[in-house]
Every structure is written in structure tokens, then in C-alpha cells.
Structure 1
Amino acid sequence: MDLFIHPASPNCIAVLAAARIVQQPLNVEHVDLFAGEQYRPSFLAVNPNGLVPVLRDGDFVLWETIAILQYIAALDPEARLLPSAPKQRADISRWLAWGVAHWNPSLRPFVMERLINKRMQGSKAPDEALLERSQSTLDKTTSILEQQLSRSAFVCGDQVSIADLHLAAVPIYAPHARIDFTRYPRLQRWLESVHSLPEWQVSSGGSMKMNP
């Protein structure tokens, strides 16, 4: 299997961690987003959206992080990341969808304004008015996740799942984006648990970090 990634992409880190947990070997191909390699015809032929990650398994090409996480997890005969029981699987799917619809969009303005735009546009100051308007949405989604984590160690029970890998991905940049989670102790403990997984550590280490 080939996996096209950018090493600083949270979604790519989540997919890499999933593959390591289920011990699925990958041939990793780097796409330099900052150099515009995602717009080259050769890459657009793989993913017309011009985004990473992309998984290629023989003739089968798969893009969209959630789909890739589900595909990789399903390759594990022990079902460690995606149990086969219908209710458990539906619960994981629910939180994956919530991450796409609510959690990541609530984090995105802070990461974009305080980290990505700074990297791409240099001295441009963050739009603090936008961030002030975005804070209430972030508070709401964080409170929902904090409440869910009062029920179990991980989002969908006492075992890590692809829901945890997905939801813990963007928060790797919370310190650089000055996102304050100090009012949410369960969320902080959960993030530490996911980010401390050996498979996550390898996937996000060294060159995987984006300098603020």
C-alpha cells in the first residue's frame, strides 16, 4: 500500500498511527504542500481535490481521512480500532462524523489564523475579531467532548479507536494555536493518552512537526 502524506498534516499523522497499530506496512510518499506539489497533474490524477492523505492499494485509490481510517482499521483481524459489533461501530462512526462536522471546524480558525497563515503569509497578524467570534463554538464542542470523556477513558469506551485518532489529530497544534484546554481536565488526560501511544509518537515525531 502507498500512502501520500505531508508530514505536518494532523490527518496524515492519524492515518500513520492507525496503520502502525494494526501493523499494516505502508510505502509513504511525501507531498510538499508548501511547494504546491498537491496541484501537479500527477497528484491530481490520484486525488482531484489536491489534498492528503491518499491511500493506494493496488488499483484501489482512496481519499478522505475518515474513509482511509476505516479501511485500515478493517484490515485488522483483531478489530482493535474498529470493532465489528454494530452498536460499537455505529458509536465510532457517530464521533467520526461529529469530528468532521463540529470538532475540527471549531478548531480550524485558531490553527489557521495563529499557525498556518503565519507560516504561509509571514507577518500577517491573526484576525483576533474572527477568533473572538469563534471562541463560543470552540467552548461548546470542547464541553461536549469533555462530557463524553467522563464516561470512559477513550471517546467510545476503554479502548482506543479510530475515533480517538481522528479527534486527537488537530489538537497536536493547540499549543502553537494558543488553544487553552486547561478548563477541561478529562480532555487533557485523553489527549495525553492518545498522543503518548508509541504508534502516535513515531508518526508525529521529528520532521512531523510544523514550526510555529
Structure 2
Amino acid sequence: MLKLLGRSSSINVRKVLWTCAELALAPVHEGGGETSPVGAALDIRALNVKGLVPVLIDGDLVLSESNTICRYLAAREKRFDLLPEAPAARALVESWMDWQASDLNPAWRGVFMGRVRRHPDFADSALQEASIRDWTAQMRILDAQLTSTGAYVAGESFTLADIVLALSTNRWEQTPMERPGLPAIAAWMDRLSSRPGFAEYCRNGIA
């Protein structure tokens, strides 16, 4: 039985849920906080020493890290449209997924945590403004890539890279701050609106 652990409001859990929608998979989903008990007194830390969600359970396999889970599920279902089998094409998709985790996500931390989560450690306005500048610079990179492809992040076809980056873009749209118009990103998000899971797990009013 395929089981997914983690609250449905989590941006990383929603990546996996959208991927499952694309794959026509319906895992048993048990919600909960990152380190709180989930379901029948199940401790996330007993499954994932990092103490973070999502956690995927597929038989004897226990897997963490949202982008890795998305890749695993696409490969498991042999959906080479979402994650190409050819090494070069797969590497291109994975490179944008890695960029999302290593460059784009850290950029929004200051302003998002300060203005949306209201975390006291991020209340400093200078820190928030620096975060906005960094986040904007990263989003301009994404806009330039989408301008280049004219369609999707990794080229002419929809892939896992679009799922993970659309979730980050939804957070960009939802965070209260000034932001420039990025027409290629706007057109891309509209293009994604017909995808299974987009309205339910991405542009659903949750940052």
C-alpha cells in the first residue's frame, strides 16, 4: 500500500500530491505536523531522522525529500514524459528541480517567514527587503528560461520540473510584497491551469 505522510498545507507535500494526481495514484494520505504524531500515533522521526514531511511509504521503502519522492513515483510508474529515461533529458529536468531546492527556495525564506508565517526571527525589514531582491532575481531567471522555451521549464513538454517550480511560483504570487511583472511566468501558470491537480494542490489559495 502506498502511503503519504504530511499535512496537506505543506508546499512539499503538495508537490507529491500533484505528482500523484498526474500519475493517477491515490495514496493513503495521513496529515500531521512535521514532528507531531501522524495517524495512529506514528512518529515521523521514527521513519525520517530529519523529522520532516513528506514521507512516502511504499511497501518496505520509506522515502523522504519531496523532489526525490516525485522522481521516484514518476520512475515507478514509467512516466518518462514527466521524468525522461534518456540521461541528458532527465538531467535537464533534474537540474531545474535541484535549482528550485538549492537556489530559489532559500531566496524566499526571509520575506515569506516574516510576512506570511510571522516568525519573530524574520521580523527585520532589512532582512525581508534583501530576501525580496534575491527572490526577484531568481524568479527573473525562471522567467528568462520560460521565455526561451516558450512552453515549459525544461522545454516543449510538461515535466516534474514544472510541478515543483509552480509550487514555488504560487508562493511568490501569495506573499504580500511588490513584485515585477514576469509575463513568461504568468503565461506558463495559465498554461498549467488545465493540469490535473493544479487547482487543488498548487493555485489553491495556500502559500
**TM-score normalised by structure 2 residue count:** 0.86
Task: Report Cα offsets for 1:34-59 as digits up to 9, x if no partner.
Answer: xx516987221011111111100011
**Residue 70 of structure 2 corresponds to which residue in structure 1?**
69
Greater displacement, 108-117 / 186-195: 186-195
Equivalent position amino acid for 2:95 in 1: R
How large is the RMSD of aligned CA atoms in angstroms? 2.5
Q: 8 Å contact 1:4–1:30 — kept in the other structure?
A: yes
Structure 2's unaligned 5+ residue stretches are: none
What's 1:186 paired with? 184
In structure 2, the CA distance between the partners of 1:181 and 1:79, relative to structure 1 (3 Å rule), is farther
Count of residues in Structure 1 that have an aligned counterpart in Structure 2: 203
Verify the 8 A CA contact 2:37 2:44 in the aligned structure 1.
Answer: yes
Matching of residue 128 in structure 1 with residue 96 in structure 2: no
Q: CA deviation at 1:205?
A: 7.5
Q: What's the offset of the Cα at 1:75?
A: 2.1
Letter in 2 for 1:171: T
Letter in 1 for 2:9: A
- 2:138 matched to which residue of 1? 141
1:108–1:195 CA distance, 2 compared to 1 (3 A): farther
How far does the alpha carbon of each residue in 1:69-108 deviate from its partner, in whole angstroms, 9 at most, with x for none? 1101112334221011221101011111111111111122
Matched, 1:2 2:3: yes
Task: Please give the alpha-carbon distance, in whole angstroms, between the structure 2 residues aligned to 1:62 and 1:25.
Answer: 17
Long gaps (5+) in structure 1 = none
Give the aligned residue type for 1:37: S
Provide the residue aligned with 1:156 in structure 2: 154
Cα pair 1:114 1:177 within 8 Å, conserved: yes
Measured in 2, the distance between the counterparts of 1:77 and 1:83 equals 9
Q: Is the 8 A contact 2:111 2:129 kept in 1?
A: no
Contact 1:22 1:73 in 2 (8 A): yes
The 5-angstrom pairing of residues 1-212 of structure 1 reads: 1-33=2-34, 37=36, 42-117=43-118, 126-152=123-149, 153-204=151-202, 209=206
The SS at the match of 2:48 is coil
Any conservation in 2 of the 1:22–1:76 contact (CA below 8 Å)? yes
**Dislocated runs of 4+, deviation >4 Å:** 38-41
What letter matches 1:165 in structure 2? I
Choose 80-89 or 133-142, whichever is displaced more: 133-142
Q: Percent of pairs identical after alignment?
A: 29
Q: Which has the higher contact order (CA 8 A, sep 6+)?
A: 1
